[in-house]
């Protein structure tokens, strides 16, 4: 998984290891999205979690697949905290 992350995100081995670790902890509901991305690079999904979807996070917030997936994971696990953070402007 780390090699794919490095290649697709053009990041260092160290950064890829952190992302890989976080992705290994995602909620089971999101695992099929990760599996599909690892298999063929497909990174679209309109399933909403508290009003946010992978597609929305990528298109409206400019996130890459891995960031959007980890954000959805956060929304699922800690909705109050995550939704508050997403509603505040980035400084």
33 is a domain residue: yes
76 is a domain residue: yes
22 is a domain residue: no
Residue 51: what pLDDT? Answer: 94
C-alpha radius of gyration, the chain, whole number: 13
12 is a domain residue: no
Question: What does the alpha-carbon distance between residue 34 and residue 54 come to, in Å, rounded to a whole number?
Answer: 11
The total of structural domains in the chain comes to 1
48 is a domain residue: yes
Q: What is the pLDDT of residues 13-39, one digit of tens each?
A: 999 999 999 999 999 999 999 999 999
Residue 90: what pLDDT? Answer: 65
Mean pLDDT of 44-67: 94
70 is a domain residue: yes
CB 46 within 8 A of CB 53: yes
What's the domain range around 33? 27-87
Q: Is the model more confident about 90 or about 2?
A: 2
Residue 83: what pLDDT? Answer: 94
32 is a domain residue: yes
Q: In this structure, how many other beta carbons lie within 10 angstroms of the beta carbon of residue 76?
A: 16
69 is a domain residue: yes
């Amino acid at each position: 998984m780390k090699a794919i992350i490095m290649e697709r995100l053009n990041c260092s081995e160290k950064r890829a290891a952190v992302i890989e670790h976080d992705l290994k902890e995602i909620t089971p509901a999101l695992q099929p999205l990760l599996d599909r991305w690892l298999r063929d690079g497909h990174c679209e999904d309109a399933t909403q979690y508290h009003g946010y979807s992978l597609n929305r996070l990528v298109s409206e917030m400019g996130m890459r697949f891995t960031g959007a997936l980890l954000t959805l994971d956060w929304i699922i696990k800690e909705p109050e905290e995550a939704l508050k953070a997403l509603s505040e402007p980035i400084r």
